[in-house]
Amino acid sequence: MSQSSLARNPDNLVKEESRRSTRLDRSVPLIVFGQSRAGEPFVERTVSTSVNLHGCRYPSRHDYVVGTWVTLQVVGLNVEPKPPAVRAKVCSIHPSPNTRELQQIGVELEHPANVWGIVAPPQDWLGSGETQAAYARAAEPATEKTDKAEEPASMPGPKLAEVATFPSRSPVAPKPQAPALGEAHKAQRVVVTPDGLISALQGRLQQAVEKAVQTAVANQLDEAVRNAVAAIDQVRQSSIREIQQLAAAPAEPTAAGKDEIAALVSSRWQEEMEKHRVHAEELTERLARQATELR
């Protein structure tokens, strides 16, 4: 939507006629402090396309509203004293037909003055004493007439070819303080992990396992020996009873019969003893293998 000019009335026309001055096509570096249509403050760096005693025109990418006020700071001029920051009113907005180009903003200084650093201004810029007085008023601190707008620091800058936009300042969150190196080491020393506990107790666990295996094997061996002894004693008692039964027979055997009986008893005794000895050895070997597997 075009806002190419401010509203005109008879009083404005008279004032405009009385305040006209020669316009110069000059590129003057500017820093503009303003407020967008949405009410958000902004700071942008731009370059004027034309200036006169009463104002200037410059390109901008922001959405202005006619009638609002901005603060202008001229920078990059080799003049003394440095031009002060001045207030200006937005008088016209000229959108560009080319969407790639920025719109042109026309502003009118609150107090007409040569704040652009023009060394040899036109004659009509110096035509009255009011102009010099106006320049003196423009040199006053601009913060008294703005809503405490912050005056930018003077910074040298070469001739600019495009507009540079600066975001408004925002409070910087404090950086969290890094923990001291000593505290970090102390925290690392007290950290205990399951792997660390297992590693520390591994030797004790191994000793306990070996002791339990040895105890189990010894108990099984003792039990096997007791069983073997009991079996042998049982065979011995059985043999004694058989001998006693043979001795109590009614008919007396001959000498040859006695020898035969003795040989038979001895043979059976040897067989029983051999059988239990083999059984005991097999049991012992089996327990020994089990003990080896447990280890």
- Report d(CA 149, CA 143) in Å as an integer: 6
Question: Of the candidates 89, 73, 62, 63, which has an alpha carbon nearest to the alpha carbon of residue 29?
Answer: 73
CB-count exposure of residue 157 (10 Å: 0-12, 13-18, 19+): middle
Beta strand 164-166 with 41-47: parallel, antiparallel or unpaired? Answer: antiparallel
Residues 6+ apart with CB under 8 A from 37: 63, 64, 65
The position carrying tokens 């009385």 is 18
Tokens of 81: 């004293």
Q: What is the pLDDT of residue 279?
A: 78
Residues 6+ apart with CB under 8 A from 45: 29, 30, 31, 32, 157, 160, 163, 164, 165, 166
Q: What is the pLDDT of residue 195?
A: 60
Residues 6+ apart with CB under 8 A from 146: 69, 71, 87
Tokens of 219: 């108990």
Beta strand 41-47 with 29-35: parallel, antiparallel or unpaired? Answer: antiparallel
For the chain (length 295 residues), average pLDDT per consecutive 10?
Answer: 44 47 93 94 96 95 95 86 90 90 94 90 75 49 43 45 48 52 50 59 64 67 70 72 66 64 75 77 80 70
Residue ranges in the chain assigned as alpha helix (H): 10-18, 129-138, 181-189, 194-247, 255-294
pTM above 0.85, yes or no: no
The position carrying tokens 């010099």 is 132
The position carrying tokens 């009083």 is 11
How many CA atoms lie within 13 Å of 47's alpha carbon, on the beta-carbon side?
15
